[in-house]
Structure 1
Amino acid sequence: MRHLLGCVCLLSTCVAVAMNKQPLAEPGPVAPINALFDAMRAHDAETIRTQFSQGAQLQRIKSDGQVVLSDIDKFANSIAAHKAYLDEQLLSVTVQQSGNLASVWTPFAFYVDNQLSHCGVNHFVVVNTAGGWRIQHLIDVTHEGDCQAFIAEH
């Protein structure tokens, strides 16, 4: 009985430690996405650029359905030149991964100088390259309705 009680206590302690343990900050498909938004907040063009793989695409779906391709260097430079504090907050993150390929879906709210500017959804295709996880494709769409309701929904 004493042996059984000891095992139960040990198991309970292990479970409690595991539940309270902070997740390891190991590289994964979300790492370049988090680094991208951190770099945007810091107005750091070079770090923005390095989150994208060679030949990556950056696109936006306009309200009329037109898909517009943007130049990553111009995007990075425009963020770096912007004087306001830019903060894209991810409302949720859904990752599907198979080996070196991942798809990441992220509803977001975008703030300029701490004021809600717009909201929408990003879709990232992320690849694990020799240099680590990089964004191969980013396409986003801006939500046309009430952002407060959108935020509450996500």
Structure 2
Amino acid sequence: MKPLLPLLLSLFAPAFAARAQTTAPPPPTETAAVQATIRAFFAGMRAGDSAAVRATLAPGAIFHTLTNGPGPPAVHPESPAAFLRAVGTPHQEVWDERIRFGQVLIDANLASVWTPYEFYRGSTFSHCGYNSFQLVKLAAGWRIAHVIDTRRQDKCP
């Protein structure tokens, strides 16, 4: 029986590989729902509405930023609670993060989204980079579980 196992595996392995490569793209409605959650996040930020931003986040959401120089690149955790306080604290300039949707990948209740961005305080450019969002689909809909971004002042996407 043991000599048959490698033979059976060699016969069925190509079928499994072919199935994995032909996965259908997500329905457009799911892609739109994921994008709507991210748009709501930034609309809340623009409006200074921390409750609106909080509504887009999954419980236990995590924020990170990657920094470049001086020194070696580093990953820095950021507190979602501190971010929400900052959004809700009155400030003179509108915080305007202008994004474009790059790739949106969805598998079941997990989505990964890549968005190049430019950030403005009022009409003044501050920085740019890329956001990577990980979203999960919960009973209430798509929620942001993790955001990690890059930040720089030049060579914008």
Q: TM-score range by the shorter chain?
A: 0.7 to 0.9
- The alignment partner of 2:132 has SS state of strand
- RMSD of Structure 2 on Structure 1 (CA): 2.1
How high is the TM-score relative to the length of structure 2?
A: 0.73
**Runs of at least 4 residues of structure 1 off by over 4 A?**
none
Partners of 2:154 and 2:96 lie apart in 1 by 20
Partners of 2:84 and 2:102 lie apart in 1 by 23
Q: Percent identity?
A: 35
Partners of 1:67 and 1:138 lie apart in 2 by 12
- 133-142 or 110-119: bigger deviation: 110-119
Whether contact under 8 Å (1:29, 1:127) holds in the other structure is: no
Letter of the structure 1 residue corresponding to residue 67 of structure 2: K
1:75 equivalent in structure 2: 83
2:60 equivalent in structure 1: 55
1:42 maps onto 2:47 in alignment: yes
Partners of 1:89 and 1:144 lie apart in 2 by 15
Deviation at 1:68, TM superposition (A): 1.0
Deviations along 1:80-111, one digit per CA (max 9) or x if unpaired, are 21331111111333201111111000000111
State the number of aligned residues. 126
- 74-83 or 39-48: bigger deviation: 74-83
1:91 equivalent in structure 2: 100
Partners of 2:143 and 2:62 lie apart in 1 by 12
Partners of 2:34 and 2:49 lie apart in 1 by 21
Partners of 1:113 and 1:136 lie apart in 2 by 28
1:141 maps onto 2:150 in alignment: yes
Structure 1 portions without partners, runs of 5+: 1-22
2:33 equivalent in structure 1: 28
